[in-house]
Each structure stands twice: as structure tokens, then as C-alpha cells.
Amino acid sequence: STLLDVLAARKSVGRLSGQVLVDGKPRDDSAFVRRSAYVPQDDHFIPTLSAWEVISVHAALVLPPAIGPAGSRKRCTEVLAAMGLGRQGSTLVGGTLPGGLVLRGLSGGERKRLAIATGIVAAPSALLLDEPTSGLDAAAALGVMQYMHALAHAGHVVL
């Protein structure tokens, strides 16, 4: 996790030494952050949102305005389907609400795949994932890794 934080330009406290190079040149942190996505080990979704609402809000934040609402909906649909969540769009994320009330929703594996979906919705040049298959069953893990393999073959950097 710490190494990925440093590589993703997310580590800003403590003493760091060394150099991160991108294409043989010192990394421009702000440009790298704009062109990359980081999927942390643990998600921090709002339990009362549906999977569709999570991916739609994220898409609104990271996709260029020129794509338009129809393009954004299309991309969200594609990404949810790619992560095996095409039928879970209306399912609440679920989790523990303030006060300790537990709201039923997506399984742990589905939440992990939704987190990955938020990372890939903008088709970043570099995708950094912290333990992307933890909490997934063998079939879901294989599907995620096959998708990551396809992204890598399409020219994206996947760590």
C-alpha cells in the first residue's frame, strides 16, 4: 500500500527520498494524477447510494464534459458490465450507517469490483490497484485480472 501511494503521488507526509520516473523523465505529479487512477484496498462508498449512483457520480467527476450525458451513461453501463455488475446497478452499496445500523447491499466482492469500476471509468493511462482481487472468489478474480490484462494490452499501465 505504501509503495503504491508513493507511485500514485498520494504520499505527502513523512520523509521520502528517491525519484519516480515516467517514460524516463521525472514525474510531474499533477499531470500524473490527472492521467492515472488509484483504486485503494478499502472503499469508502456512501452506503445509501446504488451501484449506478456511485459510478455515475464518479463519472461526472472524471469524464470530460464533451462526452455528454448520453456518453457518460454509456461508459458507466460498459464499465459495470465489464466488472460483472450489470445487474446490480440498482442495488444499494450497503454497509454500516451512523449509529451502527447495518444496511444490506452489495457483497464484499461486488463492492471491490465497483471500486475497480470507478477506477477504470475514465480509461486512465495508468491504473494502480491495491490488492484488486482480495475478497473476490476465484471466478470474479479471474474476470478482473483478464480485464486488467486486456487494458495492459491496449496500452494502459496496470500496477
**CB atoms closer than 10 angstroms to residue 91:** 17
pLDDT tens per residue, range 60-90 = 999 999 999 999 999 999 999 999 999 999 9
Per-residue confidence (pLDDT) for residue 118, from 0 to 100: 96
First to last CA, the chain: 12
92 bridge partner residues: 50
Confidence (pTM): 0.87
pLDDT tens per residue, range 78-126 = 999 999 999 999 999 999 999 999 999 999 999 999 999 999 999 899 9
Q: Which domains does the chain have, with CATH numbers?
A: 2-158 (3.40.50.300)
* Among candidate residues 8, 13, 11, the one with its CA nearest the CA of residue 127: 8
Distance CA 49, CA 70 (A): 21
